Structure formats: C-alpha cells, structure tokens
Chain A
Amino acid sequence: MNETQKQELASLSLAGVAALLEKREVSSGEVTGLMLERIRESKNNAYICVNDGEDGGALKAAAEADSRRREGKSLGPLDGVPMALKDDFCIRGMKTTCASRTLENFIPPYTATVAEKLESAGAILLGKLNMDEFSAGNATDTSIFGATRNPRKPEHVAGGSSGGSAAAVAEDTAYFAIGTDAGGAVRQPAAFCGVVGMKPTYGRVSRYGFVHYASSFDQAGPLSKTVEDCALALSAIAGFDPRDACSLHDPVPDYHAGLRGAEEFKSFRIGIPKEYMGSQIRDDVRQNLTELAARLQDAGALVEECSLPNAKYASSAHYVISSAEFNSNMARYDGVKFGYRAKGYESYEDMLLRTRGEGFGDEVKRRILFGIYSLSGGRFNDYYLQAQKARTMIIEDYRQAFCRYDLLLTPAAPVTAWPLGTAFPDPAQAYMMDMCAVPANLAGIPAISVPWGADKAGLPMGVQVMAPALCDDLVLHAARGIEELREVRAHG
C-alpha cells in the first residue's frame, strides 16, 4: 500500500471498511496494522495506551477475525473493525487509569459489558483513550497524561471529557470509539472535533464496568464518522444487562437496518427552544443553527421556536446533582482495595487524607468538595433538594415539548473548541460550556451531536437533536437526514 492508499483506507467510515472486509478486499490484520502505525505517528495524544501487549493484542484479535471470515463464520459488520474505548471502561487484564494518578496502575479483574459486547461482535480493541481525570472536565485537559489536541486544529482543545475518543475518530486512528456522557462528555467533544457523538436514552446501554461519574446521568455512547456508523455501533452495545440495576428491559431495534434519512423530514415537527438560542450562544453558532433550520423547512419539516421554561436552571441543577453523585462514587478510592496509596502516613485517617490529597487532581477535588458542600446540613434543602425538584420540572418541560414536537434542535455547544491552555477565570464559566448538553442527561433522553458548519477559523460546529426517551432511532433518522442536507449543501 502506498501512502495515498493508506490515507484513503484510514479515512473510510466504519461501514466503508466493513464492506471491504466483507468482500475480503482488505484484511483486518492490514487495517489494524495501519491503525496501530497511525496511532504511533499521531501527535494529538488521543490514546493513553495501545493494545499491543505480549498476548498479541489487537493484531492477534485481527488475525482471528480474518480466519473467521475465511471460514465463512463472520460475526457481523463489526467483525475485524478496529475501534477504541475511553479509558474508563474496565477490561480484564488491561490498565484502566481514568487519566488519574489514583488509578495509574489499576488492572481490572473484570470486563465492562460494552467491551464484552464489542468483543463478541468481533470488533478489534486498539487501545484506551484519553479523557479528563475521572471525567471531571470538558476539555480533556485535566488528564495526568496531558491534554488531547484537536485533530482539526491542534492548538485547540478536543473537548471532553471523552476528548480522546473524539480525536481518535477525527484523526482516523479508530473507525469508531465509545465514550461516556454524564453531561455532554460524548456530544461536546464530537462537536468540537467534527464527528458524530450520541448519548442514548439513560439505561439503554449498560453501565456495568465503566467507572461511574454521576450514576443517575451516566450513559455510554458511540463516536463515529457518520450517523450510519453510530447506528451500527449502538446496535452492538445496546440492550438489557442484569448487572446494571438501571438497565432498560425494552427490546432493542436494529438501529442500522431501520435507518432512514432526509425524506423523513416531511413528517417531522421540530422545536427549537429559544432558551438555547439566546445571548449565551455565540453569534456564529446561533446563525449556523438558523441556517440549518431553514434547510430543514425546505426539506419539508415543520420547524418552530418553542420554550423550555426552566432551562435556565438546568446547568446549576445538573452541577449540584452530578457533584453530589460524583462525591459518592469517589468515596471508594481510599487506598485500601485498589488504586494509589500515599507513603509516610501516621494513621489510618492520615493515610486517607494523604492518599486522596495526592491521588486526585484539582478539578476532581473541586467537584468532590462542592458535592459534599451541597449535601451538607446548611445547603441540603437549598441546593440538593432544590436541584432534584428543578430536575422534575425540567423533565416535565421536555415531556410537554414532546407533546407538540417529535424532535428538539439546539446547538451542541455554545462555542467552538477553545485554544489549549485557556484558563476560565471562574469555574462556573467553564461549566456553562456544557449548557446545551446537560438537559438531555437531566431528562434521560437520547441526544446526538452531528457536524454542521464551522466557524471562521475552520473549527467544526455540531448541532444537537433530542427526542423522547427510547426514541433513539428517531434521533438517528434525523441526524442522518441532517448529514444528507450537509452533503447536498457541500455539492450545491
């Protein structure tokens, strides 16, 4: 293969490479080797570790996929397709660091359901992807392994916390990736890096075996080059899991086989909540969405401005509840059963203080401290309980909106990727960068970010489509339709 052929092969979609594998025009060994080569050459710091260990790693798994194909025993479209996972998914025998000193040397004795499902579909694990420490952050710059660069503009952040996942897909070092999203952590980096990122309905994908951030919001979802790829990946990872108490029993449709596109817009009623088109959204991002809205109307959709009256409380309610839940989830890191333990302690109490003081980075500490504060006697009623009530009101806002509209459309983020090293003088300002994404986590509904437009500097923008719980297929249809309109725009 010459360099041009390699580049072409690497830039294929999941569906594209799967078709070549199926026709045996290329082997999994070849594409996996190509991906590993590209990972080694990349300067974007998307990967924390590469699966090339003594047991043969990715190349051995690829050889097995190739022999299955030769014997006519292919496991399906993902068989032999190289992909990667955010480094919060546990895999037996492989380091899972969560980009933290605390888990720097943690080797899980068990495997996450998502990873098991992908393995049984034949997908090849290339490695584990960079992220904000314990998912606390939105720029993948709190990782102890350093920030991930945005492949579209390397002096800019990749977004976060699943920034490595978005960057790997954008730089063509994985045909798809799986991240986790408790407050936009899949969708915002997808938007920043110009790829597709989806947060399915809460409970649609098992949480078993990934390191929890905020348990009532956490959901795993695919990042991919196309919506079709997203549907293929979601079909592989969705489904009931008895090991996750919040896992949904509802049957999983074949998201890929049922995928429709722009012709569907004729039957869609789409609401654009005015609260996500206000002054907090940068002008060019707002105009970008307005332009899409006009094209959706041209395609036959009913597009109207609507209102989610309690939207302005979403970010603060999400911050309170997620910090409180994060604090609970982080209590397990005590330096006893696994993870980092400080040296030179004088007592059990002193060991805890030093272990957690040394093992956690600033943003993790900040969120734990605020979590405890909002649960403490003086603040419990005003903050935590109020935030839970606000959540009820926000869920109700969405329920009412979905009585009138099939879909809601917003920008995926209020801005585009900011320069690496940007320090927000007020932490709250940084949290507001998630303002478009967090409501879907509060309401548990499916949401996708799909690339549409770019700013003057060429940094990608994403638009977000949301639908009622369990209408993940609807979200995919609409996103596929937007993709088709994008293709029409590019060629017209």
Chain B
Amino acid sequence: MAITKDTIRQIAGLAKIGLTDEEAERFARDLSKIDTFVGQVAKLETEGVAPATHSVQMKSVYRDDVMIPSLPREELLANAPEHDGSGFLTPKVLDEG
C-alpha cells in the first residue's frame, strides 16, 4: 500500500522532524517501498507465538541501594545549547496567564 505525503507529514509531526515539501514527497516514495519489503512479516503465521523483546534470557537484577556521586552540574550544562548556570533554557512551553 502506498504511503501518502499526508501520512509522512503526520508521522513526521509525531517524530518532531520538520520536513520540506521535497523531503515529504521523497520519504513517501521511499517508505512505500520499505512498506512493501516489510509487508512480508505481516503475512507470517504466528498463531500462538509469544513476542520476543530480547534475544538472551534476561532476569531482573537487584543491586544494593548505594549512593554514587552524579556528575557536577557545570559539566552537564556545558553541552547545553542554552543554560543559565542552574538549568537548561528552552522557549516557553506554557502560555502566560
């Protein structure tokens, strides 16, 4: 099934990736081809098969509740595009009022 430019725009919105019109068109074509390729897996008979989340048997591991030092604030802020010395700065998320 062909994936439309509108679908690409919708999933790019979920992915928070801004796309140009040219990109949206190109990815619609690409993803339609990938969709055909991946479609095989949808046809597999999987009645009664449990989904695997991991390959190797994993068990929950407990560790002692010991405090370990975390990284200094200045070091963590050093990579931030914008900060005020105490926290990360972003554009406003909530409206005022």
Contact = CB atoms under 8 A, between A and B. Distances in A.
A296 interface: no
Contact of B54 (A246, A316, A368): A246
Given A320-B41, A366-B30, A392 B18 contact: no
Contacts of A353: 16-18
Interface in B13-51: 14-19, 23, 27, 30-31, 33-42, 44, 46, 49-51
A337 to B, nearest CB: 6
Interface string A225-236: 000000000000
Contacts of A203: 56, 58
A357 B8 CA distance: 14
Nearest to B24: A369
B91 interface: yes
Give the interface size class of chain B: 35 or more
Interface in A392-435: 392-393, 395, 426-428, 431
B15 A336 contact: no
B1 to A, nearest CB: 10
Contacts of A19: none
Interface string B76-97: 1011111000001011110000
A365 interface: yes
A316 B38 contact: yes
Contact of A393 (B7, B17, B44, B71): B44
A272 to B, nearest CB: 22
Given A372-B14, A427-B30, A337 B56 contact: no
Give chain B's interface secondary structure class: loop
B11 interface: yes
21 contacts: A105-B79, A107-B78, A109-B75, A216-B53, A336-B80, A339-B79, A347-B92, A353-B17, A356-B16, A368-B17, A369-B15, A369-B17, A373-B3, A373-B11, A374-B38, A386-B41, A387-B41, A389-B50, A428-B33, A431-B37, A444-B55
A242 B66 CA distance: 12
B38 A390 contact: no
Given A248-B56, A249-B61, 9 more contacts: A246-B58, A320-B38, A327-B15, A336-B88, A336-B90, A345-B91, A376-B14, A389-B50, A427-B34
A360 B80 contact: no
B55 A202 contact: yes
Interface string A298-337: 0000000000001011011101100000010000001111
Given A392-B52, A427-B33, A310 B44 contact: yes
Contacts of A391: 51-52, 55
Nearest to B17: A356
A428 B49 contact: no
Interface string A192-210: 0000000001110000000
Contact of A338 (B40, B49, B80, B93): B80
A368 B31 CA distance: 11
By Cβ-Cβ distance, the 8 closest A-B pairs, closest first, are A444-B55, A357-B18, A388-B51, A428-B37, A353-B18, A341-B81, A338-B79, A389-B46
B2 interface: no
Of the listed residues B16, B17, B54, B78, the one surrounded by the most CB atoms of chain A closer than 10 A to its CB is B17
Contacts of B80: 336-338
Contacts of A350: 91
Contact of B31 (A336, A352, A366, A390): A366
Contact of A383 (B41, B46, B55, B91): B41
B88 A352 contact: no
Contacts of A427: 30, 33-34
A87 B23 CA distance: 28
B52 A316 contact: no
A142 B75 CA distance: 30
Given A370-B31, A386-B46, A351 B41 contact: no
B80 to A, nearest CB: 6
Given A348-B93, A369-B11, A109 B52 contact: no
A481 to B, nearest CB: 26
B12 A369 contact: yes
Contacts of A217: 55
Interface string A342-385: 00010111111110111010000110111011101000001101
